[in-house]
Amino acid sequence: MSPPAVPADVQAALDQVACGLLRLDTYGTILRANATACDWLGYARAELQGRKLQDLMTIGGRIFHQTHLAPLLQIQGSLSEVKLELVRRNGEVIPVVMNARRRENGGSPCDEVALFIARDRDKYERELLLARRRLEDAVAQERDRALLAEQMVGIVSHDLRNPLQTIQMGAVVLTRGNPSPEQLGVLGRITRAGERARRLIADLLDFTQARLGRGISVHPVPIALHSVVAEVVDELGQAYPARRLVHEPSGQGECLADADRVAQLVTNLVGNAIAYGDPGSAVTIRTAIAPQGSSLSVHNEGQPIPPELQASLFEPLVRGTKAGSGNRSVGLGLFIVREIARAHGGRVDVESTAASGTTFTVTLPRPDQ
Amino acid sequence: MSIGKRNNVRASGSGPATLLFAHGFGCDQNMWRRLAPAYATRFRTVLFDLVGSGQSDLFAYDRDKYGTLHGYADDVIEIVQEFAEGPVVFVGHSVSAMIGLLAHLKAPDRFAAQIMVGPSPCYINDGDYFGGFERKDIEGLLETMEANYLGWSSNMAPAIMGAPEQPELSHELTNSFCRTDPEIAKHFARVTFLSDHRAELPKLQAPSLILQCSDDIIAPRAVGEYMHAVMPGSTLAVIENVGHCPHLSAPSASADAIDTFLAAHGF
């Protein structure tokens, strides 16, 4: 095989050009190679000519060549920026980027190939891949860890309920047994602390239920919203005798909701209002029944919630600005409020300004929506 | 999602039988562009993309279903039921030859013959059996694919090069041909190259043509000879071709071998 002569100065320029140049027949046989290609591949020109380019590829590269590159060249007549590994004569593997273009060459088509060594790009890309894999592993590990933690919280909360119930029952029995005023005071504190612990455990169980994918369960039935809330407000008034709670109902009729969950909503929102609001002013609870849907809101005066906190307020474990009076614990209350509202097909919104105080409003859609 | 959309099915022509063309690992039904059109004058021809390739519906790619070639074979049977007329001759390239074989064994009444272009029942060497590759070679392929998919949004596109010489190629075609989601491509590569269907070969009683290239590293001659030896109704035709895609690089020799086979079996 003797390729037509190339003028000496052109040949010299081609040989010295800063990329490897190969001309192949359509089967991949190397017809010509410039000096750079020979140098990079470690072969003498005569050794390279007559060899197939694919024979210089790694085995994986050969499969890729046969299944992707050869058909592409055949059909679209060109390839660009394909990355391959070529094996040098001494066995060393070098990463290259390859462009190829098919053209007519005096009646028989041939492929003009340009090769560029890509060691740095290869290193960089390997690091990228490694970083991506590490990241994927870290995310997966973190997800497992979070899941385990949530499962643990669920299990522990569940198991805490039984001993707590024994303590609360014990306090009830002792209260009936004619205790001294001093003992009665202690029993009262035991009962209130037990009640707080019970609510916290209920919150934790709801939290894990919501987080582990099943969502908070609700069983909505037609309820008289005003009287359900009035009763809860009354109980809360006894629990917080130092604070003034005002209930303002409006509209008439029933709404579709889960009464226990509504009580939980009111308890959480009023608890927050008492913990974070101005101790000298009233907490107002409004319930409204209207044809377009029902709503329930809790308002307090005092320092507003900073705007940057409002966006994340309903996420679990986010607390208000000051750490309250100690009876709010891990910041699950508003998360659970949101989950209960969502489980009803409703929503919760907050408005908080220095002038008008803070209002949390839960809207429940009309039963037919 | 209809089967036609899921597999990007293209049917044309009509005739006494249907030729159903299935592409192999790597590209899509465009691989048949130099072979299939001529058959549409004599037969009904049906082309499609395997789910995960070409213009198929990538959302239909279920890693469990397509974790073996059986998932693809089930799709083929559905395509036959909806698009084929008369007896079906399945023309499968590379891995699709095995997909066709599995479909044939699952629904023997629906297929008349198998034409296998560059087939291999098992790519990995195993004892006396020579498949051509070791397991680590397949890992090497996955690495090469990964390296090229790093920039997969651009590297397969011909950009400006080449296309002007072949104006029949639309922009859409050049940009989509041979490309798919990198994760799907890697999974498909694993499923393809680690599959082993040697045990099914002797079960095929219908006529089959093994179209063997003279120089093909993916389906070496020893593999074609092995298949011919164990498949009762098989014909082995070796054509002079370097590479794994004779339907692209040697379309007329491929067509001659297929025509001879079809004529011998009364099509």
Structure tokens at B27: 């590209």
Catalytic residue among B216, B234, B254, B265: B216
B186 touching chain A per CB within 8 A: no
Identify the domain containing residue B203 by its residue range: 3-264
Contact A262, A310 (CB under 8 A): no
Q: Which residue of B has its CA nearest to A65?
A: B243
pLDDT (0 to 100) of residue B169: 44
Q: Distance (Å, rounded) from C-alpha A41 to C-alpha A38?
A: 5
Cβ partners under 8 Å of residue B220, min gap 6: B130, B132
Q: Of B146, B169, B218, which is closest to A66 when you measure between CB atoms? A: B218
Structure tokens at B105: 């064994």
- Residue with more model confidence, B59 or A157: B59
pLDDT (0 to 100) of residue B246: 93
DSSP-derived 3-state class of residue B117:
strand
Q: Of B24, B137, B161, which is closest to A59 when you measure between CB atoms? A: B137
Which of A203, A235, A226 lies closest to A216 in space, CA to CA? A203
A122 min Cα distance to partner chain B (Å): 8
Structure tokens at A55: 């024979």
Q: Do A76 and B177 touch (CB under 8 A)?
A: yes
Which of B195, B1, B164, B175 lies closest to B98 in space, CA to CA? B195
Q: Are strands A347-353 and A357-365 parallel, antiparallel or unpaired?
A: antiparallel
Q: Do A83 and B193 touch (CB under 8 A)?
A: no
pLDDT (0 to 100) of residue B208: 97
Chain A from 243 to 302: CB within 8 A of any B CB: none
Q: Distance (Å, rounded) from C-alpha A262 to C-alpha A164?
A: 24
The amino acid occupying position B88 is V
A123 touching chain B per CB within 8 A: no
Q: Distance (Å, rounded) from C-alpha A266 to C-alpha A286?
A: 10
Task: Identify the weakest region by mean pLDDT among A207-216, B19-28, B161-170.
Answer: B161-170
Half-sphere exposure of A156 (CA within 13 A, CB side): 10
Q: Distance (Å, rounded) from C-alpha A10 to C-alpha B234?
A: 55
CATH code for position B43: 3.40.50.1820
Catalytic residue among B197, B244, B247, B265: B244
Of all residues in chain B, what percent carry a pLDDT higher than 70? 88
DSSP-derived 3-state class of residue B92:
strand
A71 min Cα distance to partner chain B (Å): 7
Spell out which residues of chain B touch residue A61, defining contact as CB-CB under 8 Å.
140-141, 144
B213 touching chain A per CB within 8 A: no
Measured in whole angstroms, how far is the alpha carbon of residue B254 from the centre of its chain?
14
pLDDT tens for chain A, 369 residues: list them.
455 677 888 889 999 999 999 999 988 999 999 999 999 999 999 999 999 999 999 988 898 899 888 888 888 888 888 889 999 999 999 999 999 999 988 888 999 999 999 999 889 988 988 898 899 999 999 888 888 887 888 788 878 888 898 998 999 899 998 899 999 999 988 988 888 888 888 888 888 878 776 678 888 898 999 999 999 999 888 878 889 999 999 998 888 899 989 998 999 899 889 988 999 999 999 999 987 889 999 999 998 988 888 878 888 776 655 544 444 445 788 888 999 999 998 999 999 999 999 999 999 887 665
B177 touching chain A per CB within 8 A: yes
A83 min Cα distance to partner chain B (Å): 6
Catalytic site includes residue B244: yes
pLDDT (0 to 100) of residue A2: 52
Which of B199, B68, B32 lies closest to B129 in space, CA to CA? B199
Q: Distance (Å, rounded) from C-alpha A211 to C-alpha A338?
A: 13
CB neighbours of residue A209 within 10 Å: 17
Chain B from 218 to 237: CB within 8 A of any A CB: 218
Spell out which residues of chain A touch residue B218, defining contact as CB-CB under 8 Å.
63, 66-67
The radius of gyration computed from the CA coordinates of chain B, to the nearest angstrom, equals 18
Q: Which residue of A has its CA nearest to B24?
A: A67
Catalytic residue among B94, B176, B195, B254: B94
Q: Distance (Å, rounded) from C-alpha B193 to C-alpha B68?
A: 11
Quick one: DSSP state of residue B122?
A: B
Q: Distance (Å, rounded) from C-alpha A339 to C-alpha A303?
A: 26
Contact B76, B114 (CB under 8 A): no
Give the helix/strand (H/E) hosting B264: helix B251-264
Residue with tokens 């002013």: A281
Q: Do A81 and B151 touch (CB under 8 A)?
A: yes
A67 touching chain B per CB within 8 A: yes
Q: Do B218 and A99 touch (CB under 8 A)?
A: no
Q: Of B94, B141, B248, which is closest to A64 when you measure between CB atoms? A: B141
| Structural domains in chain A plus CATH codes | 8-117 (3.30.450.20), 128-211 (1.10.287.130), 221-365 (3.30.565.10)
DSSP-derived 3-state class of residue B183:
helix
DSSP-derived 3-state class of residue B22:
strand
Q: Of B25, B166, B248, which is closest to A77 when you measure between CB atoms? A: B166
Q: Considering chain B, what is the average pLDDT of its residues?
A: 88
A343 min Cα distance to partner chain B (Å): 30
pLDDT (0 to 100) of residue A151: 80
The amino acid occupying position B25 is F
Q: Do A80 and B159 touch (CB under 8 A)?
A: yes
Spell out which residues of chain B touch residue A81, defining contact as CB-CB under 8 Å.
151, 154-155
A105 touching chain B per CB within 8 A: no
Q: Which residue of A has its CA nearest to B243?
A: A66
The radius of gyration computed from the CA coordinates of chain A, to the nearest angstrom, equals 38
Contact A4, A11 (CB under 8 A): no
Q: Which residue of B has its CA nearest to A79?
A: B158
- Residue with more model confidence, A220 or B22: B22
Q: Do B144 and A58 touch (CB under 8 A)?
A: yes
Structure tokens at A216: 């908070």
Q: Which residue of A has its CA nearest to B173?
A: A76
Cβ partners under 8 Å of residue A69, min gap 6: A79, A82, A100
pLDDT (0 to 100) of residue B120: 97
Give the helix/strand (H/E) hosting B88: strand B88-93
Q: Using alpha carbons only, what angle is made at residue B49 by residues B244 and A68, rounded to the nearest 5 degrees?
A: 35
pLDDT (0 to 100) of residue A324: 44
B214 touching chain A per CB within 8 A: no
Taking residues B183-206, what's their average pLDDT? 94
A88 min Cα distance to partner chain B (Å): 17
Which of A34, A3, A30 lies closest to A20 in space, CA to CA? A34
Q: State yes or no: pLDDT of B119 exceeds 50.
A: yes
A313 phi and psi angles, rounded to 5 deg = -60, -30
Structure tokens at A168: 């609360």
Q: Which residue of B has its CA nearest to A132?
A: B150
Edge-first strand listing for the sheet containing A20-25: A30-33, A20-25, A108-117, A93-105, A78-87
A70 touching chain B per CB within 8 A: yes
Q: Which residue of B has its CA nearest to A59?
A: B137
DSSP-derived 3-state class of residue B121:
coil
Three-state SS string across chain A, please? CCCCCCCHHHHHHHHHCCCEEEEEECCCEEEEECHHHHHHHCCCHHHHCCCEHHHHECHHHHHHHHHHHHHHHHHHCEEEEEEEEEECCCCCEEEEEEEEEEEEECCEEEEEEEEEECHHHHHHHHHHHHHHHHHHHHHHHHHHHHHHHHHHHHHHHHHHHHHHHHHHHHHHHHHHCCCCHHHHHHHHHHHHHHHHHHHHHHHHHHHHHHHCCCCCCCCCEEECHHHHHHHHHHHHHHHCCCCCEEEEEECCCCEEECHHHHHHHHHHHHHHHHHHCCCCCCEEEEEEEECCEEEEEEEECCCCCCHHHHCCCCCCCCCCCCCCCCCCCCCCHHHHHHHHHHHCCCEEEEEEECCCEEEEEEEEECCCC
Measured in whole angstroms, how far is the alpha carbon of residue A366 from the centre of its chain?
32
A54 touching chain B per CB within 8 A: yes
Q: Of A60, A95, A103, which is closest to B141 when you measure between CB atoms? A: A60
Domain count, chain B: 1
Structure tokens at B141: 């392929």
A35 min Cα distance to partner chain B (Å): 25
